[in-house]
Homo-oligomer: A and B are copies of this chain.
Amino acid sequence: MLTLFRYNWQVREEWFDWCEGVPDEELIRQRIGGVGSFLRTLWHIVDSEYSWIHAMEGKPDVQLPFEDYQTLCRVRALSNTCRPEIRFVLEKWTPDWDSKEVHAPWRPGEAFSGGHVLRHVVAHEIHHMGQLSIWARDLGREPVSANLVDRNLG
């Protein structure tokens, strides 16, 4: 499972790099589908990953309002800031966490299994990166590759 997270982080870094070459107004422009813009999508996947990992740990949710992350630089910094804590949690993962009961503050009264939460976080990011690839082509630009087998993931 950690390999799929490392795949996502690598793809995400490449999308951050890709965005560096795109005018800011294109990154914040409202688009059809998904959560509406390149920048908001990147913020959303970081926020979502961090929230679910906190929920896994039984910690309170940390609010990371998009209004505080209105530039590519800030969203990338947020991603880098959250990463070590997320990696630390994932690296202590043992198979019994798969059945661990997880409660998310934003879904009161519900319980999720730890295994499904991790799979959800992985699938969530890949799904949104697929959306970016369409918007990239709309801009006439080649998107970041989603290919997994050609990556050095150990």
Interface positions of A (Cβ within 8 A of B) = 3-4, 7, 32-34, 112, 115-117, 119-120, 122-124, 126-131, 133-138, 143, 146-149, 153
Contact = CB atoms under 8 A, between A and B. Distances in A.
A107 to B, nearest CB: 8
A133 B7 contact: no
Closest CB pairs A-B (n = 8): A130-B130, A33-B137, A33-B134, A120-B148, A127-B130, A126-B126, A127-B146, A134-B134
Contacts of A138: 32-33
How many copies the complex holds: the figure is 2
B33 A115 contact: no
13 contacts: A4-B123, A7-B119, A7-B123, A33-B138, A116-B149, A120-B147, A126-B130, A127-B127, A130-B133, A131-B131, A131-B133, A131-B134, A134-B135
A13 to B, nearest CB: 16
Contacts of A137: 32-34
Contacts of A130: 34, 126-131, 133
A37 to B, nearest CB: 13
A136 B34 CA distance: 10
Contacts of A135: 33, 134
A134 B7 CA distance: 22
A140 to B, nearest CB: 9
Interface centre among A112, A115, A146 (most CB of B within 10 A): A146
A143 B128 CA distance: 13
Interface centre among A129, A148, A153 (most CB of B within 10 A): A148
